[in-house]
């Protein structure tokens, strides 16, 4: 099966989904850390597997990735990807340890569960906003965390997409933590990757025909 | 003197290389990187495989590099076309990790080990000896193969680098 033709209306709807979902998640993050979080306008792209890995920083770059499977009426996968310095920064703020670093040889259980919980909260708020907007029942799995090469993290979540073709539709919302005047270009990403068959369901529930 | 080139292989992609050039694929998670080579001729092919079997394809026309069964057959065809000799072929493989641990074990989550099994089975069918492997675990791998020496260099984030 192939992806059907997307019109600009379809792409706008998917952007709106990213906007609503990630907007809600950014609010949760902002409350959790008591900081301003700048969210970018979502990007909806039809990308090759290599391109999606590039979006996450490149196959070899090390990132923290929280991965969830979405079950229910419009199944898919979701990634919350953070560059390492950004992940360290969030962990420091959540567990109150200024010195925390991934390069410390002694593994810090607390840090990992904090990051996993962060992923859980953000994905939960992303999905509940999405569920409200579309009126579809969507259930997140328990999140799994991996700190490794971006290629290995993302590549392991593209199985269902790869059965249907060599492309995936990604709803990508990136965000920056407001660090005052030293606004660094470290970006986190939410990738929402509905399975190919889920797009029909999403458009249908929003009252848009496939050929519109 | 010509500079040495590193041929890059993407996800669900396959390429050929001739010595003194080397060939690399980055960020193998549950995917498997399989190298088939003729050492004396100094030629090798590398495929970055995502899925174990082309029977899983939900598309009519598919990319052969994506599935273990079709990728290995295609690699052998390309190698023979480049002048490799059928009885001199050897292979090495790496990858097939399980990057995420889920309690509800859907079959798709065990895809790493299934990819490894499928590659080995296909190599056995084609009588291609497997001379080295670094598979499983839960770490991503970046691999680089030198067709001049037959060495496969493996890099991981947490466990350093080694050669097989």
User: Does A67 sit within 8 Å of B10, measured CB to CB?
Assistant: no
- Asked if B29 contacts B112 with a C-beta cutoff of 8 angstroms, the reply is yes
Residue bearing the bigger pLDDT, B105 or A190: A190
User: Does A69 sit within 8 Å of B50, measured CB to CB?
Assistant: no
- Asked if A168 contacts A47 with a C-beta cutoff of 8 angstroms, the reply is yes
How far apart, in whole angstroms, are the C-alpha atoms of residue B126 and residue A73?
Answer: 43
> For A150-179, how does the pLDDT look when each residue is reduced to its tens digit (9 = 90+)?
999 998 888 888 888 888 888 888 777 655
Q: Residue B72: helix, strand or coil by DSSP? A: helix
pLDDT over 50 (residue A1): no
Q: What pLDDT, on the 0 to 100 scale, is given for residue B140? A: 94
Residue bearing the bigger pLDDT, A138 or A35: A138
Radius of gyration of chain B (CA): 15
Q: What is the ipTM of this complex?
A: 0.86
User: Structural domain tally of chain B?
Assistant: 1
In this structure, is residue B133 part of a structural domain? Answer: yes
Q: What distance in Å separates residue B28's CA from the closest CA in chain A?
A: 5
- What is the DSSP code (8-state) at residue A13? H
- Which of B9, B10, B11 should be substituted to probe chain A, the one whose Cβ sees the most A Cβ atoms within 10 Å? B11
Q: Where are the domains of chain A?
A: 8-205
Q: What pLDDT, on the 0 to 100 scale, is given for residue A210? A: 65
How far apart, in whole angstroms, are the C-alpha atoms of residue B102 and residue A33?
Answer: 28
Nearest to A102 by CA among A73, A140, A54, A64: A64
For B27, the closest of A48, A155, A159 (CB atoms) is A155
Q: What pLDDT, on the 0 to 100 scale, is given for residue A2? A: 45
User: Does A62 sit within 8 Å of B27, measured CB to CB?
Assistant: no
The residue from B31, B79, B111, B143 that is catalytic is B31
How far apart, in whole angstroms, are the C-alpha atoms of residue B134 and residue A39?
Answer: 41
User: Does B138 sit within 8 Å of A166, measured CB to CB?
Assistant: no
Taking the CA of residue A8 as centre, how many other CA atoms within 13 Å lie in the half-sphere pointing to its CB?
Answer: 0
Q: What distance in Å separates residue A56's CA from the closest CA in chain B?
A: 12
Q: What pLDDT, on the 0 to 100 scale, is given for residue B105? A: 54
Residues of A in contact with B101 (CB under 8 A): 144
Q: What mean pLDDT is predicted for residues A196-202? A: 85
Residues of A in contact with B29 (CB under 8 A): 148-149, 151-156
Residues of B in contact with A164 (CB under 8 A): 58-59
In this structure, is residue B126 part of a structural domain? Answer: yes
Range of the domain at B114: 6-163
B75 is catalytic: no
> For B55-109, how does the pLDDT look when each residue is reduced to its tens digit (9 = 90+)?
887 877 788 899 999 999 999 999 999 999 999 999 999 999 998 876 555 555 6
- Which of B8, B63, B99, B161 should be substituted to probe chain A, the one whose Cβ sees the most A Cβ atoms within 10 Å? B99
Per CB distance under 8 Å, which residues of A are interface residues toward B?
1-2, 48-50, 53, 58-60, 62, 67, 69, 141-142, 144-160, 162-166, 196
How far apart, in whole angstroms, are the C-alpha atoms of residue B114 and residue A64?
Answer: 25
How far apart, in whole angstroms, are the C-alpha atoms of residue B39 and residue B35?
Answer: 12
pLDDT over 60 (residue B158): yes
Q: What distance in Å separates residue B85's CA from the closest CA in chain A?
A: 32
Q: What distance in Å separates residue B56's CA from the closest CA in chain A?
A: 6
CATH code (residue B81): 3.30.1330.200
Local confidence band at A4 (pLDDT 50, 70, 90 cut-offs): low
Chain A's closest residue to B98, CA to CA, is A156
> For B21-39, how does the pLDDT look when each residue is reduced to its tens digit (9 = 90+)?
999 999 999 999 999 999 9
Task: Check whether the bond before B160 is cis (ω within 30° of 0).
Answer: no
Q: What pLDDT, on the 0 to 100 scale, is given for residue B115? A: 94
In this structure, is residue B1 part of a structural domain? Answer: no
| CATH 3.40.1550.10, domain A8-205, yes or no | yes
């Amino acid at each position: 099966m192939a992806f059907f033709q997307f019109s600009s209306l379809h792409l706008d709807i998917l952007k709106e989904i990213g906007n609503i979902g990630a907007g809600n998640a950014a609010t949760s993050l902002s409350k959790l850390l008591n900081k301003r979080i700048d969210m970018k306008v979502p990007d909806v792209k039809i990308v090759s597997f290599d391109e999606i890995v590039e979006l996450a920083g490149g196959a070899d770059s090390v990132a923290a990735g929280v991965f969830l499977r979405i079950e229910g009426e419009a199944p898919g996968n979701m990634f919350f990807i953070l560059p390492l310095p950004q992940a360290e920064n969030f962990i420091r703020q959540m567990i109150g340890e200024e010195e925390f670093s991934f390069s410390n040889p002694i593994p810090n259980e607390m840090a990992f569960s904090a990051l996993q919980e962060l992923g859980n909260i953000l994905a939960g708020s992303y999905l509940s906003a999405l569920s409200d907007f579309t009126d579809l029942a969507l259930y997140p799995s328990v999140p799994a965390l991996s700190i490794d090469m971006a290629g290995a993290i993302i590549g392991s979540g593209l199985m269902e997409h790869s059965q249907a073709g060599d492309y995936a539709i990604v709803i990508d919302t990136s965000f920056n933590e407001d660090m005052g005047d030293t606004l660094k270009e470290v970006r986190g990403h939410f990738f929402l990757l509905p399975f190919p068959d889920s797009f029909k369901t999403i458009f249908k529930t929003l009252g848009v025909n496939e050929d519109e | 003197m010509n500079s040495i080139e590193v041929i890059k292989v993407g996800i669900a992609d396959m390429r050929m290389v001739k010595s003194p050039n080397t060939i690399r694929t980055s960020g193998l998670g549950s995917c498997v990187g399989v190298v088939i080579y003729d050492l004396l001729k100094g030629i090798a092919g590398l495929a970055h495989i995502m899925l174990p079997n082309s029977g899983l394809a939900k598309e009519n026309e598919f990319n052969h590099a994506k599935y273990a069964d079709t990728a290995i057959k295609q690699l052998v065809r390309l190698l023979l076309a480049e002048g490799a000799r059928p009885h001199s072929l050897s292979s090495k493989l790496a990858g097939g990790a399980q990057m995420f641990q889920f309690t509800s074990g859907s079959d798709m989550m065990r895809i790493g080990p299934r990819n490894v099994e499928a590659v080995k089975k296909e190599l056995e069918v084609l009588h291609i000896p497997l001379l080295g492997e670094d598979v499983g675990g839960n770490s991503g791998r970046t691999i680089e193969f030198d067709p001049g020496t037959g060495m496969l260099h493996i890099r991981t984030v947490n466990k350093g680098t080694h050669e097989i």
